[in-house]
Amino acid sequence: MIQKPRRKGLWLLGLVLISCVGAYYVYTEIRPVVIFGLRDDYAHAIPFQKTPHGLEGISAKDCGGCHKEIYEEWKTSMHAHAYEDPFFQAYWKKDDNIWVCLNCHTPLENQQPTLIENIPDERVEKATQIPNPHYDENLRQEGVTCAVCHVRNGVIYGPFDDSVAPHPTEFDPAFRTTKVCYRCHNVVAGPLQFYNVGPCGTYPEYEGTFFMKEKGLICQSCHMPEVTRRVAEGAPIRQGRRHLWRGGHDPEMVKRAVAIQVQANPPAPMPGEEVSLTVTLINAGAGHKIPTGDPDRHFTVEFVVRDQDKNVLAQDVHTIGRWILWQPFILEMYDNRLLPLASRDYAFTYDLPKEPSNVVVDIRVRYHILTDDQHAMLREKYELRTNAPYVFTIYERSFPLNTHLAEVLDAQPITPYRGCASPPEEQLPLLNHTTLG
């Protein structure tokens, strides 16, 4: 009779020990230390590239001597600042400056201080590293520089098959497809990472029926708008592309992708009535989900009712994004982002006072690169030292909750399908990376 409780206790102790050993094994041998898995093409840096004959080096500055307009555009892009971007640097510090992040933020072997000899069982923290004798610290500061896409084996590759240049050139049809974007914009999940799409999975989100087949649009159609000009000094005038890559870091680009319409019932409410307002968001200009890219990005749709003295009487907030469980393993719980050409309604109801009033409802749609808590965490723990904004208002308007409401509603612009988020060339602002995250 005395032995049974003791035996049961031993079984329980053994079960606890087995569970602890199992959990330890999962965390040290299976679960990745980064939030994505490895794929062969980005598990290693792009191999060392030598300078093509006729050039002084492979720095963007060396290219800019002849390709001046392209160089000036590139300098304003997030590609150019992929390494020095303060948000990346803070997140990278949070991840103990793990080497694998550099394979997209400074992709060339020339840009990395160490060489990766071996990655046992795809465990990035166990990778064998040796000093890189060809490391160029200045080139690292250029992030996704010209040579990342265009230099291979001493040759400059590009989208034209009739180039004449003072250096070796070769036509690569990949530049006329989405293939050139695949490597870094299709980061996959790893073991114990249950994403619906990888953490930075814009590429597989791309809608291939309407946008690609019917409209003939590829990534470059929006993110590298066509332009007719000389590609280089002395070259013939031809149709090329601008090297801007505006995207989820640029609120103006986000604004052009989203159409917003507000409706009310009744459209001219009287005192004492219940009024319902509906905000319709349409992904009218992006060929992928919005928001896309970093899983921290999200929209908020906000309703705030105020009286004539600006006092808040009621409010409501809706969120559009991804909800991901990060510990003890990664599990994407929910994704309500907008698919291409999809729309969604967000409703708000308010009971008007019985007496005539000047009550208004402020409707605001905001785009967030990260949450307030994350921003505070990066500043407090990981040396984020920038005042660059991380929340942007893409729509804001006040609607009077009285008989004048119908007039304001009728004055709204009607936004048709836009075809592409890129505006006409002359309207594209140049991005200042010091003021945008």
Residue 423 pLDDT exceeds 60: no
Rg (CA), the chain: 26
- Answer whether residue 363 is part of any domain: yes
Mean pLDDT computed over 198-206: 90
Beta carbons within 8 Å of 129's beta carbon, 6+ residues apart: 99, 114, 115, 116, 117
pLDDT at 432 (0 to 100):
35
Contact present, 384 and 312 (Cβ < 8 Å): no
Under DSSP, is residue 347 helix (H, G, I), strand (E, B) or coil? strand
Let me know the angle formed at the C-alpha of 281 by 276 and 287, rounded to the nearest 5 degrees: 165
Residue 162's identity, in one-letter code, is D
| Average confidence (pLDDT) over 274-291 | 95
Determine how many CB atoms are found less than 10 A away from the CB of residue 204: 12
Q: Helix (H, G, I), strand (E, B), or coil: what is residue 324? A: strand
Residue among 34, 145, 81 at smallest CA distance from 435: 81
397, β-bridge pairs:
363
Residues 280 and 405 in one domain: yes
Residue range 242-265: mean pLDDT, rounded: 94
Tokens of 352: 């008007």
d(CA 223, CA 293): 14
Average pLDDT for the chain: 90
Please tell me whether residues 263 and 406 are part of one structural domain: yes
> What pLDDT shows up at residue 29?
67
Q: What's the pLDDT score for residue 212? A: 83
Please provide residue 332's backbone torsions phi and psi, each rounded to the nearest 5 degrees.
-80, 110
Per residue in 149-159, pLDDT (tens digit) is 999 999 999 99
The verdict on residue 246 lying in a domain is no
Omega of the bond leading into 266 within 30 degrees of 0 (cis):
yes
Residue 119 has pLDDT above 80, yes or no: yes
pLDDT for residue 203:
93
CB 67 within 8 A of CB 231: yes
174 lies in the same domain as 256? no
Q: 49-63, pLDDT tens digit by residue?
A: 999 999 999 999 999
Same domain? 261 vs 157? no
Among the listed residues 298, 314, 292, the one whose alpha carbon sits nearest the alpha carbon of residue 394: 298
pLDDT at 11 (0 to 100): 77
Q: What is the CATH number of the domain that holds 395?
A: 2.60.40.10
The pLDDT score that the predictor gives to residue 415 is: 60
pLDDT of residue 433: 32
Last residue of a domain, one of 129, 154, 184: 184
CA-closest candidate to residue 291, choices 377, 197, 214: 197
Q: How confident is the model at residue 15 (pLDDT cuts 50, 70, 90)?
A: confident
Could you tell me whether strands 343-351 and 274-283 are parallel, antiparallel, or unpaired per DSSP bridges?
Answer: antiparallel
- Whether 284 and 269 have beta carbons less than 8 Å apart is answered as no
Q: Which residues pair with 303 in a beta bridge?
A: 316, 363
pTM to 2 decimals? 0.89
Q: 429 pLDDT band (50/70/90 cuts)?
A: very low
Query: Residue by residue, what is the 3-state secondary structure of 377-404?
Result: HHHHHCCCCCCCCCEEEEEEEEEECCCC
Q: Which domain holds residue 123?
A: 40-184
**pLDDT tier at 392, thresholds 50, 70, 90:** very high
The reported pLDDT for the residue numbered 316 is 98
Residue 112 has pLDDT above 70, yes or no: yes
Residue 265 and residue 164 share a domain: no
pLDDT band at 420 (very low <50, low <70, confident <90, very high): low
Residue 236 — pLDDT band, cuts 50, 70, 90?
very high
- Domain-located, residue 410: yes
When pLDDT is cut at 50, 70 and 90, the band that residue 3 belongs to is: low
What total number of domains does the chain contain? 2
Q: Domain for residue 22, yes or no?
A: no
- Alpha-carbon distances, residue 217 vs 171, 275, 293, 342 (angstroms): 21, 42, 19, 18
Cis ω on the peptide bond leading into residue 204 (within 30° of 0)? no
Is the model's pLDDT at 2 over the cut of 60? no
22 vs 354, higher pLDDT: 354
